[in-house]
Amino acid sequence: MSTPPPYIPPCASYEKYALASSYGYRPSLGVGIFFSICFGLYTFANIYQTFRTRCWWMGLFFSCGAGLELLGWIGRTVAHTCTFSDEINTMQIATLIMGPAYTQSGVYIALWMIVKILGREVSPVPPKLYLLVIFSVDCVCLSLQAIGGGLAGAAFDQGTSTAPGTTVMVVGIIAQLVSGMVFAGFLCIVFPRGASQIKANRSLLLSCIAIVISTTMMNLRGFYRSIELCQGWRGPLITQQGYVIGLDAAPMLIAMGVLAVLNPGMLLRRVEKEQLVEGKAGRGDVEKGSPMRLDSEVKA
């Protein structure tokens, strides 16, 4: 973002002031409507699944992540008409950047539930410690992104340098990307160790597949956003709509779609019901969103 041009009405004719667009292009109406509908469906699906499974925290994070994506794409849809609205531009950037962090947090909880099922021996660190550390890192990343975005937006409105705010936001995004990569490495340890149990239970296997696919997609999107913002607000990535669609919206559409269809909460509930039928487990703390373990834990 550079020094803002003289005042232009938010919904002024794009053809007349095209060069002043803070996007570098006119956001597509059709694309905006398409992704708004998709993420809207994901939001309602996650809310429904949350109440059905009672996996409250995981469902809350999935719903918030989808809801923020929905708000971001509604903003971009409106921006087709009101391309010069700084408020809409700031809103869509903030929501689309922070939304995936909430979805990733839901995935963290899903893995924690799986580790509790497979047994402590599959995890290199205690499940509670893993959850505490990774959530602490996520909170720091989100705080940096929010603070940086606020500073950059305020600086733009005042016509001053956006560099300090942008730097803080980029640090938050890169830190979140590093966290996602570490989490991917954690998956490479946990899943092979519990491979025999995972392969023996279809619901567990599908949950793990959903986690792997969604994590891969979100890390891909994280790489894009990190490079995009490092290039600046007028860089070649941020000023080309195709990159936003292909490297942000599409990966998140796949990630959230997989989590909606192969919802870990519903699948892990199914594991718990199978255990009850077989007489190998009681309900325990399942009502809190934490299924009982399989044979490995029962024998321990």
In angstroms, the CA 298 to CA 283 distance is 13
For the residues 103-112, what does the mean pLDDT come to?
94
Residue 249 predicted with pLDDT over 70: yes
How buried is residue 178: exposed, middle or buried, by Cβ count under 10 Å (0-12/13-18/19+)? Answer: middle
Residue 12 predicted with pLDDT over 90: no
Furthest C-alpha separation in the chain: 73
Q: What is the pTM of this model?
A: 0.86
Question: Which residues, 6 or more positions from 178, have their beta carbon under 8 angstroms from its beta carbon?
Answer: none
In angstroms, the CA 126 to CA 133 distance is 11
Q: Smallest Cα–Cα separation from 156: which of 79, 96, 228, 90?
A: 90
Kindly calculate the radius of gyration of the chain based on its CA atoms and give it in whole angstroms. Answer: 21
Bigger pLDDT: 196 or 87?
196
Can you list the alpha helix ranges (DSSP code H) found in the chain? 14-17, 29-53, 56-79, 86-118, 127-158, 163-193, 195-200, 202-230, 241-244, 250-261, 264-278, 295-299
Tens-place pLDDT, residues 33-72: 999 999 999 999 999 999 999 999 999 999 999 999 999 9
The pLDDT assigned to 232 comes to: 82
Show the domains of the chain with their CATH numbers.
26-299 (1.20.1070)
- Beta carbons of 115 and 189 less than 8 angstroms apart: no
For the residues 77-95, what does the mean pLDDT come to?
91
The pLDDT assigned to 5 comes to: 54
Residue 72: CB atoms within 10 Å: 26
The pLDDT assigned to 185 comes to: 94
- Beta carbons of 145 and 110 less than 8 angstroms apart: no
Tens-place pLDDT, residues 183-230: 999 999 999 999 999 999 999 999 999 999 999 999 999 999 999 988
- Beta carbons of 56 and 290 less than 8 angstroms apart: no
Q: Smallest Cα–Cα separation from 145: which of 175, 186, 107?
A: 175
